[in-house]
Amino acid sequence: MQKDYQHCLDKLATAAPETKSALIRSLLPGIEAALNSGQRLKAVWEAMRKEGLKMSYHSFHKTVSRCRKMKKTTAASSWGKHDKSPAAQGLQETKMETVEERDPFANLKRLENRPGFHWRGRQDLKTNLHGTEVSTDKNNR
């Protein structure tokens, strides 16, 4: 039973991509090799267009740049995840414990107790000196 599913998945993997962006993603190593050898992206697009790619240069450029960006972010996010030593795992567990014990309002407390001059909004000078409240409304003047 599982053998039939595996055969079906293998068949899908060897088939040509259905979307143009999937096609560009599958050809990205070759495109990057051509760019690294000194070819311009427009020359790569023109060569692929002659072979039957039906895509404007603008769309091709955007798709290649998105694929390259996606490749960089996935490579950066998977960096360092391959080998986890027991010491690193222990450090991660310790870090998680300290996060749970951390005070979520510590940042606000630190900001309230900072030294120096702090302006808290508009207050009238007469209110502060004499203790009487003076209206700033034009109708009450």
Question: pTM above 0.75?
Answer: no
- Side chain identity at 19, as an amino acid letter? T
Q: What is the mean pLDDT of residues 71-97?
A: 60
With a cut of 90, say whether residue 63 has pLDDT above it.
yes
**What is the band of 41 on the pLDDT scale with cuts at 50, 70, 90?**
very high
Q: Could you tell me the residue ranges of all domains in the chain?
A: 39-77
- Pick the more confident residue, 114 or 61: 61
- Pick the more confident residue, 2 or 5: 5
Distance CA 96, CA 81 (A): 17
Q: What is the mean pLDDT of residues 69-89?
A: 64
**What is the band of 132 on the pLDDT scale with cuts at 50, 70, 90?**
low
Check: CB of residue 45 under 8 Å from CB of residue 60.
yes
Residue in this structure with the two tokens 């979307």, named with its chain if needed: 19
> Could you write out the DSSP letters of every residue in the chain?
-HHHHHHHHHHHHHSPPSSHHHHHHHHHHHHHHHHHTT--HHHHHHHHHHTT----HHHHHHHHHHHHHHHHHHHHHTTT-S---HHHHHHHHHHHHHHHHS-TTHHHHHHHT--S----S---HHHHHHS------GGG-
With a cut of 80, say whether residue 77 has pLDDT above it.
no
- Pick the more confident residue, 115 or 120: 115
